[in-house]
Amino acid sequence: MNMHNPPHPGEVLNELCIKPVGASITDTAKALGVSRKTLSSIVNGRSGISPEMAIRLSIAFDTSAESWLHQQSQYDLWLAEQHRDELQVQKLVAA
């Protein structure tokens, strides 16, 4: 079952992982081994979570990489569904 308007995983990351530990974006980026710009882009919903970032997050926050990728996939699918009617696709049926 697809979620209705799921949050961007960056929002989840910020609200449920970064803020509760009292870390800044700069501190979190350093702990993750990425640039502040990279993490800020994710947290602000401008970039998605890659498989490598999912692994980094799983290590830093003791979560599963799969959960981060699932959130990203659900968000991406929801966005794509918003443009379903614009797709030029014909149904194929067995003869």
User: Over the stretch 3-17, which tens digit does the pLDDT of each residue have?
Assistant: 688 999 999 999 999
pLDDT tens across 28-70, in order? Answer: 999 999 999 999 999 999 999 999 999 999 999 999 999 999 9
CATH number of 9-86: 1.10.260.40
Q: What's the rounded Cα separation, in Å, for the pair 68 and 53? A: 9
Q: Which residue has the tokens 């700069």?
A: 26
**pTM of the full structure:** 0.89
